């Protein structure tokens, strides 16, 4: 593209220079011929009135630098008077055949130089006594002026060319070359997909943004692919045991049909099926929340009543493990939310807090409702806290904290579900370590969800 621009611009400059030179040359020739004819008429009148000496006095004696000459011939072509420079003689001044012209008749002849470097223009005019006045002038002055003008035009063309060439070079280096590199890199990625990324170093911001957008798309594709593989692996792992148990229970049911042991086997099968169904349903719910298509049954409700219901349910279970469950209300108000989904998110946070505290401790739920921040709920525990890696990884599907052990319950989907539900309400989620020890997870929901809000994770 840049080469095409250079060729196009260079061709246009050459065409313009050629047309300009041709036009200037023709204009100069026309003006010179008109001027020479006028001079011939003036000189002829002066010659007929005052004679040859007066002509020489007025016109000046020609020399080798004037490139002009005079001659008078009689009606038979004999030379009566002549003043001819060597420059004019070189054009073959004497080659013109004598002619007999009536008074006032004018002829115009052009003679080329043997070397091809110029021409002589000869004007002959008939005089009153039957003689002929010759006036010859070379185009040396015109050629000199034309050469000067063309040099100026070429200088201008070179200057303009440089001014145009610099942007073309910049265009080639900052746009064309990066695009060619991007194309080559994209072809390599298509042929051998991997962790390679597009590089747009040294290019304009727009090209760099294209590369960045492509890399983000590639990252998202890899993330989705990784999640898909992870889901498949975990589903295979999580469903294998329940299916094996269901099979064993069904075999026991067949062997003990109608007996109490058979009924217990059937009940265990139902429990395993419910567990597998809940696992699949949780994965589907997370997927709906991440893709932004989760259906919400919104209603105006008080967070105080909702959280109190959850605390009443979880209080006895926390006491059995030696934990204290505290509900602290800083403020309350009305919020538009899906009670079932938000209840699901809060209970998952409570399940995590209670599961990771190995020793008796306290779980505190701190709620706040304000016009500025909306509904904020903090779940604080006195457990082992979070590592720096945990703060990023625990929100992913099937990811578990570094403090989890083989006996810690859960499938690693709880926090992913919390994030999906909160994002469906156009809210934020986050976590941190408490200065006094333990971890704090928080959710932040607007007073009323608004379509089109961006999801951001920040400290409330």
One DSSP character per residue, 370-387 reads: ETTTEEEEEEE--S----
| pLDDT the model gives residue 304 | 92
One DSSP character per residue, 134-152 reads: EEEEESHHHHHHHHHHHHH
Cβ proximity of 111 and 122 under 8 Å: yes
| pLDDT the model gives residue 452 | 34
Cβ proximity of 96 and 69 under 8 Å: no
Strands 324-329 and 362-370: what pairing?
Answer: parallel
Cβ proximity of 93 and 111 under 8 Å: yes
- Mind listing the domains of the chain with CATH numbers? 2-146 (3.30.450), 217-291 (1.10.287), 299-445 (3.30.565.10)
pLDDT digits (tens, 9 = 90+) for 255-304: 666 667 766 766 666 666 776 666 667 666 766 666 666 778 889 998 99
| pLDDT the model gives residue 458 | 37
Cβ proximity of 121 and 40 under 8 Å: no
**Is the pTM value of this prediction over 0.75?**
no
Q: Residues in the chain with pLDDT < 50?
A: 64-65, 406, 451-459
pLDDT digits (tens, 9 = 90+) for 349-403: 998 888 888 788 899 999 999 988 899 999 999 988 888 887 777 877 666 666 5
| pLDDT the model gives residue 328 | 93
- For Cα atoms 209, 210, 214, give the angle at the middle one, nearest 5 degrees: 115
| pLDDT the model gives residue 337 | 92
**DSSP SS3 for 106:** strand
């Amino acid at each position: 593209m840049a080469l095409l621009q250079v060729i196009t611009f260079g061709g246009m400059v050459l065409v313009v220079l050629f047309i300009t030179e041709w036009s200037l040359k023709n204009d100069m020739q026309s003006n010179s011929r008109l001027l020479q004819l006028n001079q011939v008429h003036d000189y002829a009148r002066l010659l007929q009135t005052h004679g040859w000496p007066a002509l020489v006095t007025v016109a000046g004696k020609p020399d080798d630098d004037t490139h002009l000459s005079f001659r008078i011939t009689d009606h038979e072509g004999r030379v009566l008077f002549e003043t001819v420079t060597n420059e004019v003689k070189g054009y073959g001044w004497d080659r013109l055949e004598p002619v007999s012209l009536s008074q006032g008749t004018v002829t115009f002849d052009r003679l080329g130089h043997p070397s091809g470097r110029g021409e002589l223009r000869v004007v002959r005019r008939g005089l009153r006594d039957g003689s002929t006045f010759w006036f010859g002038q070379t185009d040396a002055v015109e050629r000199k002026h034309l050469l000067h003008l063309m040099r100026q035009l070429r200088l201008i063309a070179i200057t303009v060319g440089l001014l145009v060439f610099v942007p073309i070079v910049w265009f080639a280096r900052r746009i064309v070359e990066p695009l060619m590199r991007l194309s080559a890199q994209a072809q390599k990625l298509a042929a051998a997909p991997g962790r390679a990324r597009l590089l747009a170093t040294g290019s304009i911001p727009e090209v760099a943004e294209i590369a960045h957008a492509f890399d983000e798309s590639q990252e998202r594709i890899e993330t989705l692919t990784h999640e898909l593989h992870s889901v498949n692996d975990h589903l295979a792992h999580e469903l294998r045991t329940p299916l094996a148990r269901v099979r064993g229970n069904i075999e026991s049911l067949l062997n003990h049909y109608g007996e109490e042991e058979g009924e217990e086997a059937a009940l265990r099968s139902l429990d395993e099926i419910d567990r597998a169904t809940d696992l699949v349903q949780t994965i589907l719910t997370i997927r709906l929340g991440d893709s932004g298509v989760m259906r919400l049954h919104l209603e105006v409700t008080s967070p105080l009543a909702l959280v109190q219901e959850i605390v009443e349910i979880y209080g006895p279970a926390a006491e059995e493990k030696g934990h204290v469950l505290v509900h602290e209300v800083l403020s309350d108000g009305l919020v538009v939310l899906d009670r079932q989904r938000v209840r699901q998110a809060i209970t998952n946070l409570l399940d995590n807090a209670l599961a990771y505290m190995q020793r008796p401790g306290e779980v505190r739920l701190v709620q706040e409702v304000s016009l500025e921040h909306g509904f904020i709920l903090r779940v604080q525990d006195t457990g082992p806290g979070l590592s720096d890696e945990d703060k990023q990884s625990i929100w992913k599907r099937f990811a578990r904290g570094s403090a989890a052990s083989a006996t810690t319950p859960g499938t690693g989907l709880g926090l992913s579900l919390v994030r999906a539900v909160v994002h469906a309400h156009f809210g934020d989620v986050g976590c941190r370590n408490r200065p006094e020890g333990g971890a704090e997870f928080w959710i932040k929901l607007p007073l009323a969800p608004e379509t089109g809000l961006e999801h951001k994770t920040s400290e409330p």
